[in-house]
Structure 1
């Protein structure tokens, strides 16, 4: 897997000050995407064990609230396997920090439903995520006043609560 960038301090993609990883590779091709260069799976730098250690180092500060995965598309089958060790290490080392994941896929149809995205790694990732922002960015529904999402069709979902209840539980 490759990644586009790491932001050691990000305040736009979840509450508080967060570390964010923008992975490369996306097949949604949303019109008006703010990160279209990351559609290419070969864009950016190689994701390695050293990358994981760098991210863990950035997280090791009391002022950091959590970690956010964005893209590209973190939940694309080509990216899931590489992300499991990272999010599991974050959850183990920093259980007080939240993990957010942005995906263009639909949580109940694509991620937890019967679509081809469900891999052995999917459940491992979901068990580490606190919140998932789902749905493709839709330029016609873009709203700059929305908090932590780009278009009104997207949902901010509490992952564990949604999985345990079998229905979508929204964050705030």
Structure 2
């Protein structure tokens, strides 16, 4: 067994829940992990139960990996919340293994790309994801006419291109 797979067995993530077949958290059928804990407490949050740092449940990363691998319909994985980046280390490991196996990896964050890109504790996860939906949910900017976001201030960012060009590059094909 390779070292990363072994690490999945020994690493836990505090979660609020999962959706094993989501079509609203990115393109295709996705396995979505809702992390527990969020410092933002956005007014009108879609997942207020995921905000407290205490609560939720601890789950070994290997459990997620096995569930994802067992479902041939799943083409991608999305980290949502709560705030995924407060558990960047564990999610970085899971993302690394999943990307190596061909899954697309998206993450939502209340932090902006610029903040994540400059902070070493967040950078490890940022470097493992394909797409970031950044920025806090702003209830006054809520829209049902945009793809995969709750409010118009949030951006859908192509992370590999953004890192390579050292500037935010929006993912193409989304409204």
- TM-score for the superposition, normalised by structure 2: 0.85
Deviation per CA, 1:104-139, whole angstroms, max 9, x where unpaired?
Answer: 00101x1113xxx432xx332122100000000000
Q: Are 1:22 and 2:34 matched, yes or no?
A: yes
The correspondence for 2:51, drawn from 33, 39, 45, is 39
1:54 and 1:36 mapped to 2: Cα distance?
A: 24
Corresponding pairs, count: 159
The within-5 A match list for 1:45-64 is 45-48=57-60, 52-60=61-69, 61-64=71-74
Q: Which residue of 2 aligns with 1:65?
A: 75
Deviation at 1:88, TM superposition (A): 1.8
Q: For the aligned residues, what is the CA RMSD?
A: 1.3
Q: Which residue of 1 aligns with 2:105?
A: 99
1:148 and 1:155 mapped to 2: Cα distance?
A: 10
Deviation at 1:41, TM superposition (A): 1.3
Query: Moved runs in structure 1, 4+ residues, more than 6 A?
Result: none
Unaligned 5+ segments in structure 1 are none
State the secondary structure of the residue aligned to 1:128: coil
The correspondence for 2:96, drawn from 88, 103, 108, is 88
Q: Which residue of 2 aligns with 1:118?
A: 120
1:65 and 1:82 mapped to 2: Cα distance?
A: 21
Q: Which residue of 2 aligns with 1:130?
A: 130
State the secondary structure of the residue aligned to 1:148: coil
Quick check: 2:41–2:51 contact (8 Å CA) kept in 1?
A: yes
